[in-house]
Structure 1
């Protein structure tokens, strides 16, 4: 898989997943030296080429002057996420995505989840964007650190999590309970639905509670990745 973007490529180099790096001629010397040092440590070849070649290979001009040939991003398992919380001796914080098909939203949620201390993200197999270079670039390297798992049936997974003492909160703009008034102590799963449609009816019914983000403007809804970031922050704030 071709990965592009400075942060994603550098994280993949540190993670040992890169077989070759392609740098655009003319990138600033300081960045080229940083890439060369990381590549030398990893035993990876760096090749310089015209920027137009990178444009063609990446299918975009937003590659920031660097591409890497990397092993495909691998899905984790839900058990990996549960084990991560247990090993850290922390209350579980897991993000469940119901119908997030935009790869940039998907990547942005992964990034927020990693930054704000979640233990993993789970999507339903048939209702999600794939793990792709766009997801990895938007996640800015977070895919190297945060387990991202698939499940065949999200409502069934919610039932299983509840059996393990996880309290499930669904994001809903019309919910009467604002997130900043919720005590998020204990094991928590946050469910984020698709933009426009929100959560499916069955997923919504499986939630223990619905929470909202108060809005004051004329636009009454937030981008799904922004909503996820705000709710993750509220969990972190509540726990601190």
Structure 2
């Protein structure tokens, strides 16, 4: 299991994560390393050229373990050290984002003790794709952003804003005080997600992979919604459920109303 890195930077690996940082946030790239055979393919050569064009330090090394990646990692021959530009301060977030006028708001995604790094990475990628500009999670009991998370997000972490709050219930309570509606996803809920008006100041809350929403978080929600399922499989992976809910929020934003 990959341990959370306590340094000011994060080591990421893989073609797509490194390329996403090169394209979207080259200022966050500290250095890039690649093995000798990386660059033989056209797309690999184009990435190296892009990094040079952006003025990023690129060095050829015999083993990417020198960069600090875990053993056994599928790294595709390239790794990078990046600044943790996605982490937002909790108090600053409350002042700058939560209190902002309605017209400047997009849905916020809250993750209640999502622990699997693959799931968390997939959730982050879906959130970025659906226009979510803030993800909130609790520091304790939740997956930290690691190289595995960055890889699972295919580099979308470069475009994320994440708040690791000390107490998710307390954070959400403050959000309610500023007019945010808390909408929890629960498989047993009678109301379907498309029946809920998400085209407002809404925080969509996902529960953990095993237990769902904690009682303390569930009790804060004004409403609970579910995703109807037709087949013999009666549950979805949390990252799949996240994508469906966030798509519905985007659909309502585009059309201006809830409904099928």
Same fold (TM over 0.5): yes
Aligned to 2:257: none
Query: Does the 8 Å CA contact 2:86/2:161 hold for their aligned counterparts?
Result: no
What per-residue deviation string (whole Å, max 9, x for no partner) do you get for residues 45-103 of structure 1? 333345xx237844234212211133346521344487468499433311111110111
Structure 2 residues without counterparts, runs of 5 or longer: 1-9, 255-260
- The counterpart of 1:5, out of the listed 1, 14, 25, is 14
Aligned to 1:75: 87
Structure 2 residue 187 is matched with structure 1 residue 176: no
C-alpha displacement at 1:139, in angstroms? 1.4
Q: Distance in 2 between matches of 1:146 and 1:26?
A: 28
Q: Distance in 2 between matches of 1:31 and 1:47?
A: 18
Considering only aligned residues, what root-mean-square deviation do their CA atoms show, in Å?
Answer: 2.3
**Compared with structure 1, are the counterparts of its residues 222 and 97 closer, same or farther at alpha carbon in structure 2 (3 Å cutoff)?**
same
**Compared with structure 1, are the counterparts of its residues 61 and 156 closer, same or farther at alpha carbon in structure 2 (3 Å cutoff)?**
closer
- The counterpart of 1:153, out of the listed 163, 167, 189, is 167
- The counterpart of 1:134, out of the listed 120, 127, 148, is 148
Q: Distance in 2 between matches of 1:84 and 1:206?
A: 20
SS in structure 2 of the partner of residue 206 of structure 1 = coil
C-alpha displacement at 1:8, in angstroms? 1.3
Matches for 1:76-155 after TM superposition, within 5 Å = 76-78=88-90, 79-80=92-93, 83=96, 86=100, 89-155=103-169
Aligned to 2:41: 29
C-alpha displacement at 1:18, in angstroms? 2.3
**Compared with structure 1, are the counterparts of its residues 37 and 189 closer, same or farther at alpha carbon in structure 2 (3 Å cutoff)?**
same
Query: Does the 8 Å CA contact 1:94/1:121 hold for their aligned counterparts?
Result: yes
- The counterpart of 1:54, out of the listed 52, 55, 64, is 64
Q: TM-score, normalised by structure 1?
A: 0.89
Q: Distance in 2 between matches of 1:87 and 1:36?
A: 42
Q: Distance in 2 between matches of 1:21 and 1:88?
A: 40
Q: Distance in 2 between matches of 1:89 and 1:11?
A: 29
Query: Does the 8 Å CA contact 1:55/1:63 hold for their aligned counterparts?
Result: no
What per-residue deviation string (whole Å, max 9, x for no partner) do you get for residues 138-164 of structure 1? 112222112011111111111111111
- The counterpart of 1:207, out of the listed 192, 204, 221, is 221
**Compared with structure 1, are the counterparts of its residues 218 and 163 closer, same or farther at alpha carbon in structure 2 (3 Å cutoff)?**
same
Count the aligned residue pairs: 238
**Compared with structure 1, are the counterparts of its residues 146 and 9 closer, same or farther at alpha carbon in structure 2 (3 Å cutoff)?**
same
C-alpha displacement at 1:208, in angstroms? 0.6
Q: TM-score, normalised by structure 2?
A: 0.83
C-alpha displacement at 1:235, in angstroms? 0.7
